[in-house]
Amino acid sequence: MTKVIGFHYTLKNDAGEVLDSSIGHDPMLYLAGSGTILPALDEAINTLPIGEKTSVALLAKDGYGEVNPAYKMNVRLAQFPPGTDVKPGLQFKINDEPASPMFRVINVLGEEVFIDGNHQLAGVNLNFDVEITESRDATADEISHGHAHGAGGHHH
């Protein structure tokens, strides 16, 4: 039987810095095996009972992947559409292909723009502190939609 799992999490890097947390928000709610969360994290927690607390350590390759140097590049300011406010943090796609990564502007130096298409957590080992808040059988609707319904899950 496919499960729906709810959990609170705090994500830290190896230095112990908090990168993300659900504390203060709804717990994350997801359909086991649906690819909604990192598969390695899903596998580690989807059989745990409600109330269980655990820590899950994932290497970068099992998280958001290693840094791909080919996705770090310099482009020219003139390559952006006229009128674009090119500044650090701007996100954009280079083309419309679904597999094309989302690039971020890291820095602008004169006519040169340094961009990076790696996920912000690429190359980062992930340390999750997890507390299971929900564990139940998925409904037929959830299974056919491929996601969990309810607070912290998918809203229609």
Q: What does the binding site for Zn ion look like in residue numbers (CB under 5 A)?
A: 145
Closer of 30 and 128 to Zn ion (Cβ): 30
Residue 95's φ and ψ, nearest 5 degrees, are -145, 180
Instruction: Report the nearest approach of Zn ion to the CB of residue 141 (Å).
Output: 6
Q: Cβ of residue 28: shortest distance to Zn ion, in angstroms?
A: 16
Instruction: Give the Cβ contact number of residue 125 at 10 Å.
Output: 16
Rank residues 65 and 150 by Cβ distance to Zn ion and give the closer one.
150
Closest separation in Å from C-beta 31 to Zn ion: 9
Q: Measured from the CB atom, is 136 or 145 closer to Zn ion? A: 145
d(C-alpha 19, C-alpha 126), whole Å = 9
Nearer to Zn ion, 101 or 150 (CB): 150
Distance CA 35, CA 11 (A): 18
Residue 98, CA distances (Å) to 86, 95, 132, 145 in order: 23, 9, 33, 21
| Helices and strands in the chain, H and E counts | 2, 9
Nearest approach in angstroms of CB 132 to Zn ion is 22
Going by their DSSP bridges, the two strands 28-31 and 91-93 should be labelled as unpaired
